[in-house]
Amino acid sequence: MKQSEAPLLRVEGLTKRYGAGCERCETAEAVPGGESENRCPVCGTVWACRNIRFHLYPGEILGVVGESGSGKSTLVKCLYFDEDVTAGRMTIAGYKDGEANLFAEFAQQKRYIRNHVMGMVYQNPHLGLRMNVSSSGNIAEKLIAADHFHVGAIRERASDLLQRVEIPLSRMDEPPRNFSGGMQQRVQISKALANNPPLLLLDEVTTGLDLSVQAKVLDLIRTIQRDLRVGMIVVSHDLGVIRMLADRTMVMRRGAIVEHGLTDQILEDPQHPYTQLLVHSLL
Ligand SMILES: Nc1ncnc2c1ncn2[C@@H]1O[C@H](COP(=O)(O)OP(=O)(O)OP(=O)(O)O)[C@@H](O)[C@H]1O
Ligand SMILES: [Mg+2]
Ligand SMILES: [Zn+2]
């Protein structure tokens, strides 16, 4: 499939710890202790992500699945610079020839990357939207951040985007606070797509939505992938969502990737005991 192309995104050695670390937990292969998730029993440091490595190809959907606390949100927050990594390297095609380590860039460059190269959809729409600003205004904000200043063009782009996610144009000037959870997620998706980023990060985008609404949002994500060929990282604790969307999947546990491969293969023949448990609970 797409693997013959150069990767869109390369991530290597991504590590994020909360706490100072100690001799015991920094040198161990895995965090000792075990019983209490990913917390070092000696110094109390939480190793939220540890030595994460993957590639994402253009237009591909990569799923990230794992139990609560396994580090999924931390991973996407690091990719979007909401959190500073402890260590690691990330490069993206189309920015400085795909050679620069984005984690080491200055804040201004990181802002540029967030506004031009990436879009983020948060689990909690309050983090991604200004609830009291109109939906069109939310999109305008993102466009202005990427140096679009023509009012007419901004308005047209906002209405295009909102139509794409099926928000009626009669409501484009209403603030998201007036909307249902599913509508808010759709506004968030349109905002994240405003500057045509080649990479979209989606964290638990359907969690907490009604099944019927969930199906519509999942449908929308598939349509976007097909029409716009956006590469996506889709985080979910729900293997059903991953099965519907992801070409390849990484399984996380206690901050580490325990399994990584084609989604179909992982579902049919899970290798790691933890993945087996996940898959069986889906059946
Ligand atoms: N600011 C923080 N300070 C300390 N520990 C944190 C912080 N943020 C996250 N953690 C810890 O990092 C680990 C990973 O959390 P994270 O939110 O990434 O998990 P998750 O896989 O997204 O879980 P969920 O499915 O519940 O959303 C958890 O042990 C969490 O307690
Ligand atoms: Mg999370
Ligand atoms: Zn320690």
Whether 55 has a pLDDT exceeding 70, the answer reads yes
Test site for ligand 1: of 25, 68, 205, 236, most ligand atoms within 8 A of the Cβ: 68
pLDDT tens string 98-144: 999 999 999 999 999 999 999 999 999 999 999 999 999 999 999 99
Which ligand has an atom closest to residue 72 CA?
1
Whether 35 has a pLDDT exceeding 70, the answer reads no
For range 37-64, the mean pLDDT: 94
Q: How far is the CA of 125 from the centre of ligand 2 (A)?
A: 13
Report the C-alpha gap between 101 and 181 in whole angstroms. Answer: 36
pLDDT tens string 153-198: 999 999 999 998 999 999 999 999 999 999 999 999 999 999 999 9
Q: How far is the CA of 259 from the centre of ligand 3 (A)?
A: 25
Whether 246 has a pLDDT exceeding 90, the answer reads yes
* pLDDT of 33: 53
* pLDDT of 211: 86
Nearest atom (ligand 1) to Cα of 255: 14
- Tokens describing residue 243: 């099965």
Whether 36 has a pLDDT exceeding 90, the answer reads no
Test site for ligand 1: of 39, 47, 72, 78, most ligand atoms within 8 A of the Cβ: 72
Assess whether the C-beta atom of 37 lies below 6 angstroms from ligand 1.
yes
Amino acid identity, position 17: R
- Tokens describing residue 43: 């110094």
pLDDT band, residue 31 (cuts 50/70/90): low
Beta bridge partner(s), residue 268: none
Beta bridge partner(s), residue 91: 10
- 217-234 residues labelled b (16+ CB within 10 A) or e (exposed): bbebbeebbeeeebbbbb
* pLDDT of 29: 67
Q: How far is the CA of 33 from the centre of ligand 3 (A)?
A: 10
pLDDT tens string 202-241: 999 998 888 888 898 899 999 999 999 999 999 999 999 9
Assess whether the C-beta atom of 125 lies below 6 angstroms from ligand 1.
no
* pLDDT of 47: 94
Nearest atom (ligand 1) to Cα of 204: 27
Higher pLDDT, 169 or 3: 169
Nearest atom (ligand 1) to Cα of 66: 21
Assess whether the C-beta atom of 112 lies below 6 angstroms from ligand 1.
no
Whether 32 has a pLDDT exceeding 70, the answer reads no
Nearest atom (ligand 1) to Cα of 16: 12
* pLDDT of 208: 82
C-alpha atoms less than 13 angstroms from C-alpha of 47 in its C-beta half-sphere: 33
* pLDDT of 38: 87
Report the C-alpha gap between 214 and 23 in whole angstroms. Answer: 45
Among 3.30.450.40, 3.40.50.300, 1.10.3720.10, 3.80.30.20, name the CATH number for the domain at 2-117+197-282: 3.40.50.300
Which ligand has an atom closest to residue 36 CA?
1
Domain boundaries, the chain: 2-117+197-282, 126-196
Residues with CB under 5 A from ligand 2 (ion): 73
* pLDDT of 235: 97
* pLDDT of 3: 57
Q: Where are the alpha helices (DSSP H) in the chain?
A: 23-27, 72-79, 107-116, 125-128, 135-145, 151-164, 181-192, 211-228, 239-245, 263-268, 273-282
Distance, C-alpha 6 to centroid of its chain: 20
pTM for the model stands at: 0.94
Ligand 1: residue whose CA is nearest its atom 17: 73
pLDDT tens string 70-92: 999 999 999 999 999 999 999 99
Assess whether the C-beta atom of 74 lies below 6 angstroms from ligand 1.
yes
Assess whether the C-beta atom of 70 lies below 6 angstroms from ligand 1.
yes
Beta bridge partner(s), residue 251: 65, 259
Ligand 1: residue whose CA is nearest its atom 11: 48
> Any idea what DSSP says for residue 197?
-
Which ligand has an atom closest to residue 252 CA?
1
Among 26-30, 155-159, 166-170, 277-281, which stretch is predicted with the lowest mean pLDDT? 26-30
Q: Are 170 and 219 in contact (CB under 8 A)?
A: no
Q: Are 230 and 263 in contact (CB under 8 A)?
A: no
State the average pLDDT for the chain: 92
